[in-house]
Structure 1
């Protein structure tokens, strides 16, 4: 196993030695997209093997739903690739340029990161999205998908490598780890720092925590998405109701779903109760603090301190009353995970204060937190969302998968 993984690492490093033209990169992606469309039936048949195995293993139904590939999902995958093709190549761009009094001309130029390792679970579309984003940004990628999507991931990688070969590009720009042993992940995290420049985990809390705890390679990612929607005293009732409903209930299982609602105490009776009633009528369980429980006209469970830190990923939401915007911001900065947080208000001054002072990687105004997604940001997809304090932050798409270097020229200057 160790020799195999080391060889994979060496091949990835070697692949990145050659810089490719944007024309060549886009041609590879166009051919990859066509191969997926031409082989839809074959891909769906391979996916059925994974589905069958998932049912045998007793995997939860919500995870099986993520695993399923059908015509609609395959079209979505190819549309994502099409979008990535249309985006500008983020590498070899002069980000800044200036001339010094000593005669030096200095340029800050974007470059690929190098080799990216991605460890992910359940969703086969991640294989195509991540491989396309990494390749377009000039990076080689080593993919370690979950065993539950083995056959789906394998065939999607196979077609990418086929497209690379057809265009006389090193196939090892994209490699998929076929080994199913759990020790493979440990080796990647602890023994591959000579070959992998960054690790990106995509999956549940257990996987992400393991990667962050064990990795000797720098990581990009988020542990949890404890996202907030704060309804200010100057919120428009209709807009507030619509946003909160969508932010919580559109898809409760994603990291951008709102997990805590903060209501300004002055609007609880006016229209806050109506917002909560609307959620309950749509199957959402409400957990509230003492004030919410007192003013809400239905009996609800009492919130504990632990509830403010919970990522439910289900139709459950904790609700807290706050006296003002400062209390809302303080609560988010204390209990949030720097993922995505929103203020709903018509007051521009309050909105500006919120956007400036919450520590979130994504701060929103009058917007559903469910928009926390690379595709929705126009990135063509994402390899994940980062809540790191250091960049990149938020959705990690094409323009976030780069580094930079300084290029310095002069007319023979020497330092005195």
Structure 2
């Protein structure tokens, strides 16, 4: 294993040193889209093997859903790559430039990070999204998917390498660790800091916790997506009903799904029944505080303290009464995970207070939290969402997979 993993690391580092023009990058991505289309039946056949294994393993329904690749998902996958092709190359761009009285001309220029390691679960689309984003931004990537998706991931990665080879570019820009062994993950985290510049975990809480605990390599990512939607006293009822229904139930298994609804105490009597009734009618279980329990006429359970810090990833929601916007912000900053939080209000001043004071990496006004997604942001896709305080934050797309260096020119200047 040590020899295998070190060889992967060396190959990735070597590939990352190769400079490729934007034209060739885009040509390779176009070839990749063509291959994905040509081999769609082979991909779906491989995916069926993975689904069979996952069902035998007893994986949860939300994970099976993430794992499944059908013709529609393949089309979405290709569309994401086509969007990445159209985006500007983020590498070798002058980000800032200035001259100094000492005669120095200074430019801050974007460069690739180098080698990115991605450890992920269930979603085979991560293989193509991450490979495409990392490659377009000039980075080599080492992919370690979950055992439940190994057949699908293998063929998707193999097709990218085929596109690279066709264009006479180092295939090792994309490497897939073709093993179900968990020891490979441990090795990536603890023994590859000389080869990998940053690790990005994509998966459940247990995976991310493990990465955060054991990695000797810097990490970009988030542990949980405990998202909130706060309905202010100046909210429009119809808008609140529609946004909350979408934010909670459009897709309950994604990290951008709202898990806690905060209601201003002055609108509970008028708002809680129409808002929560629509959720209940769509089979959403509701936990509410004592005030909500008193006023909601439908089926509801009393919330416990743990509900305020629970990411359900299911059709379940907790509902709490707050005194005002300041109280909502305090609740979010105490229980939230700095992922995505939204306020619904017609009051621009209150909205501004909320946007500026929640610690979230994504703060929204009159918007569904389900928009917390790199593709929706116009990034073409994402390698993940970061809740780190240090950048990058939020969806990590093409423009966030870069670093920079200073390029300095003078006319023979020496320092006094």
Tell me the TM-score normalised to structure 2 length.
0.99
Question: Is the CA contact 2:90–2:402 (under 8 Å) kept in the aligned structure 1?
Answer: yes
For residue 305 of structure 1, report the CA deviation from its aligned partner: 1.6
Matched with 1:343 is: 343
Shift of 1:365: 0.2
Q: Match for residue 15 of structure 2?
A: 15
In the TM superposition, 1:105-144 aligns within 5 A as: 105-144=105-144
Does the Cα contact within 8 Å between 2:116 and 2:198 map onto a contact in 1? yes
Match of 2:202 in 1: 202
Matches within 5 A, 1:296-315: 296-298=296-298, 300-315=300-315
Question: In structure 1, how many angstroms separate the alpha carbons of the residues matched to 2:289 and 2:63?
Answer: 32
**Partner Cα separation in structure 2 for residue 94 and residue 87 of structure 1:** 17
Q: CA deviation at 1:56?
A: 2.6
Q: Secondary structure at the match of 1:88?
A: coil
Contact 1:259 1:318 in 2 (8 A): yes
Distance 1:299 1:35 in 2: 51
Equivalent in the alignment of 1:380: 380
Q: Deviations over 1:140-195 (max 9, x none)?
A: 00000111111110001111001000101000000000121111101100000000
| Whole-angstrom distance in 1 between the partners of 2:275 and 2:51 | 38
Matches within 5 A, 1:21-60: 21-60=21-60
* TM-score, normalised by the number of residues in structure 1: 0.99
CA RMSD of aligned residues (A): 0.9
Q: Which residue in 1 is equivalent to 2:367?
A: 367
SS of 2:275's equivalent? helix
SS at match of 1:141: strand
Q: Deviations over 1:69-126 (max 9, x none)?
A: 1111111111111000000000101000000111111100000000000000111111
Give the Cα separation in 2 of the matches to 1:147 and 1:358. Answer: 37
Unaligned regions of 5+ residues in structure 2, if any?
Answer: none
Residues 350-373 of structure 1: per-residue CA shift (max 9 Å, x gap): 111110010000000000000000
User: Structure 1: 5+ residue runs without aligned partners?
Assistant: none
Corresponding residue SS for 1:91: coil
CA distances 1:343-401 after superposition (whole Å, capped 9, x unpaired): 00000111111100100000000000000001111111100000000000000000000
Q: Report the alpha carbon displacement of residue 307 of structure 1 after superposing the two structures with TM.
A: 1.0
Residue 400 of structure 1 is matched in structure 2 by 400
| Contact 2:280 2:299 (8 Å CA) reproduced | no
Instruction: Tell me, in whole angstroms, the C-alpha distance in 2 between the residues paired with 1:300 and 1:49.
Output: 41
Kindly report which structure 2 residues correspond to 1:94-109, keeping only aligned pairs within 5 A, or say none: 94-109=94-109
SS at 1:111 equivalent: strand
State the shift of 1:299 in Å. Answer: 5.2
Q: Displacement of 1:16 after TM fit? A: 1.0
Please give the residue correspondences for 1:3-402 in structure 2 after superposition, counting only pairs within 5 Å: 3-298=3-298, 300-402=300-402
Q: 1: distance between equivalents of 2:62 and 2:297?
A: 33
* Kept after mapping to 1: 8 A contact 2:385/2:393: yes
Is contact 2:272–2:295 with CA below 8 Å preserved after alignment? no
3-state SS of 2:96 partner? strand
Contact map agreement 1:293 1:299 (CA 8 A) in 2 = no
- 1:227 and 1:337 in contact (8 A); partners too: yes
CA distance in 2, matches of 1:238, 1:409: 59
Instruction: Give CA deviations for 1:270-303 in whole Å, capped at 9, x if unaligned.
Output: 2222111211111111111111112222452111
2:242, 2:115 → 1: CA distance? Answer: 42
CA–CA separation in structure 1 for the residues paired with 2:366 and 2:57: 43
Q: Structure 1 CA distance, aligned partners of 2:259 and 2:59?
A: 25
Q: How many aligned residue pairs are there?
A: 416
Farther-moved stretch of structure 1 (293-302 vs 30-39):
293-302
SS of aligned partner of 2:262: strand
> In 1, distance between residues paired with 2:249 and 2:414?
64
